Amino acid sequence: MTTATVVTAAMLAIGDELLSGRTKDKNIGQLAEVLTLAGIDLKEVRIVADDEEAIVEALNALRARYTYVFTSGGIGPTHDDITADAISKAFGLPCVHDDKAMELLGAMYERRGLEFTDARKRMARMPEGAAHIPNPVSTAPGFIVGNVHVMAGVPSVFEAMLDAVVPTLATGSKMLSESVPCPHGEGDIGGPLGDIQKAHPDTSIGSYPRFSENRFSTEIVVRGRTTEAVAAAAADVRQMIAALDRKKAG
Amino acid sequence: MTTATVVTAAMLAIGDELLSGRTKDKNIGQLAEVLTLAGIDLKEVRIVADDEEAIVEALNALRARYTYVFTSGGIGPTHDDITADAISKAFGLPCVHDDKAMELLGAMYERRGLEFTDARKRMARMPEGAAHIPNPVSTAPGFIVGNVHVMAGVPSVFEAMLDAVVPTLATGSKMLSESVPCPHGEGDIGGPLGDIQKAHPDTSIGSYPRFSENRFSTEIVVRGRTTEAVAAAAADVRQMIAALDRKKAG
């Protein structure tokens, strides 16, 4: 058996609006899906307010612990967009108007016949030396500093930035999964499914209850890093379901 | 001016499926809305895997810092439902089959003609001495230990449990808000809006960009704990918009 490479990640979603319920986050689920497909394990997510101390503390905890950190939100032009300052502070770097970003933004506003206001110039600010993440939607770049990828909160922009970032990441062995629909409720499968998990320690077996038309059923998901491991555990799950079918019919 | 009472909260959403992208969380937004209406400030959210160490660490950090903690997920009958054990461990309490929960569940399964399996009995487990959170949807109770409210991950059950819990909470001065739609993009309003924020320190002014039909506009949200404070800041925001309208027209 080959050793699987594990690459881990965390997300830090930033914004008062996520915590007030005004905005329902869409980026966490998007990032989770994209990273899973890329073979990167999203291990933790935090949501914090537009509060410098909260951002710095969460970022420093996460960037020390995981291979990559992805942030969303707080990189627009208004006073409540403090992510660039907070990230700079967390890294102990000056937060500067990046030359290349000033050029990109200046040219874009000139094309559009709009004044390049001080507020708009805020969007060129990032920790000194940070690399850009291109923004094909609205120009203002995200940025990369250390293992931290700083991206926009607007879902269409977040998604576009993520698409640009993913090919640059070290990816791990892809986590494979197989779903087995199960007509029995969790209360019926809990015992035998726990035994199957114990017998297949190289997989992670999850069971997700469904409640519809007044009865419970389950979706069982077997995850693992090799086709063989997943197939072997999934076969045992199917045997378990067949045995429960017979028991109910008998 | 009366002093506002501030009551804070955090959420800990538990489950591998949230981090793999298989399930898109719906409970965070629901909790955020309900707490905001109740005058409780949701300050932080964390999402962690079904991993005892991760749950214990996050829970202990959050419960020490905020008035209330709300958890979702991991209280079902299968081997991957480890929330009751992890919460007990975080509090240094034994995790036991609660007598009252055993009665409730036993009676329910008897009515339904279903075997009260060991797996189903797992749903009666909670830290010794914990209080119940009633579950009108599927009987198995959530529980309260210290300032921590442990609830189900299935959104219909989470919501029902939350409805039962909210009337029992100490609530703070309700955060009031007023939304002002603004036809100007963030780049135009960023400067003057920052000045308005400075002039109204007892409010929190957020601006949220919208991008549709190829142009940017903004929704400006003024939040505060008194009607007067919110109205005064919102009036200044409207004046700012009128000034920008004149500038564009001129």
ipTM of this complex:
0.88
From CA A76, how far away is CA A70, in angstroms rounded? 17
| In chain B, residues 85-104 whose CB comes closer than 8 Å to chain A | none
Q: What is the pLDDT of residue B172?
A: 81
Q: Do A196 and A107 belong together in one domain?
A: no
| In chain A, residues 131-150 whose CB comes closer than 8 Å to chain B | 137-138
Q: Do A151 and A198 belong together in one domain?
A: no
Report whether pLDDT(B61) > 90: yes
Best to test chain A binding among B45, B66, B104 (most A CBs inside 10 Å): B45
**Has residue B2 been placed in a domain?**
no
Best to test chain B binding among A78, A117, A175, A184 (most B CBs inside 10 Å): A78
Q: Do A111 and A160 belong together in one domain?
A: yes
* Domain range for A215: 176-249
Q: What is the pLDDT of residue A96?
A: 98
Q: Are B50 and B17 in contact (CB under 8 A)?
A: no
- Name the domain boundary from B148, B168, B188: B168
Q: Do B29 and B108 belong together in one domain?
A: yes
Report whether pLDDT(B87) > 80: yes
Q: Which of A161, A114, A104, A113 lies closest to A134, judged by CA?
A: A161
Q: Do B37 and B150 belong together in one domain?
A: yes
- Could you give the number of structural domains in chain B? 2
> Does A52 contact chain B (CB < 8 Å)?
no
Please, what is the Cα angle at B116 between B110 and B119, to 5 degrees? 150
CATH code of the domain containing B223: 3.30.1370
Q: What is the pLDDT of residue B35?
A: 95
Q: What is the pLDDT of residue B3?
A: 58
**Has residue A66 been placed in a domain?**
yes
Partners of A207 on chain B (C-beta within 8 Å) are 76, 78, 80
Average pLDDT value for residue range B98-124? 95
For residue A6, the distance in angstroms to the closest alpha carbon of chain B comes to 14
Q: Do B130 and B103 belong together in one domain?
A: yes
Please answer yes or no on whether A21 and B43 come within 8 Å at the CB atom. Answer: no
Minimum Cα–Cα distance from B48: chain A residue: A44
Q: What is the pLDDT of residue B1?
A: 42
Q: Do A159 and A180 belong together in one domain?
A: no
> pLDDT digit string (tens) for B15-44?
999 999 999 999 999 999 999 988 999 999
Q: At what angle do helices B186-199 and B227-249 cross, to 10 degrees?
A: 140
Digit-by-digit pLDDT tens for chain A (250 residues) are 445 688 999 999 999 999 999 999 999 999 999 999 899 999 999 999 999 999 999 999 999 999 999 999 999 999 899 999 999 999 999 999 999 999 999 999 999 998 999 999 999 999 999 999 999 998 999 999 999 999 999 999 999 999 999 999 988 878 889 999 999 988 889 899 999 999 999 998 988 887 777 777 899 999 998 999 999 999 999 999 999 999 888 7
Q: Do B19 and B90 belong together in one domain?
A: yes
Q: What is the pLDDT of residue B4?
A: 66
pTM for this model (two decimals): 0.88
From CA A8, how far away is CA B164, in angstroms rounded? 37
- Name the domain boundary from A110, A140, A168: A168
Q: Do A152 and A201 belong together in one domain?
A: no
Q: Do B100 and B181 belong together in one domain?
A: no
Question: B97: which DSSP letter?
Answer: E
Please answer yes or no on whether A221 and B49 come within 8 Å at the CB atom. Answer: no
> Does A5 contact chain B (CB < 8 Å)?
no
Q: Are B14 and B153 in contact (CB under 8 A)?
A: yes
> Does B8 contact chain A (CB < 8 Å)?
no
Best to test chain B binding among A6, A19, A48, A83 (most B CBs inside 10 Å): A19
Give chain B's mean pLDDT.
Answer: 93
Q: What is the pLDDT of residue B122?
A: 95
Q: Do B229 and B155 belong together in one domain?
A: no
- Name the domain boundary from A111, A139, A168: A168
**Has residue A2 been placed in a domain?**
no
> pLDDT digit string (tens) for B134-182?
999 989 999 999 999 999 999 999 999 999 999 999 888 778 899 999 9
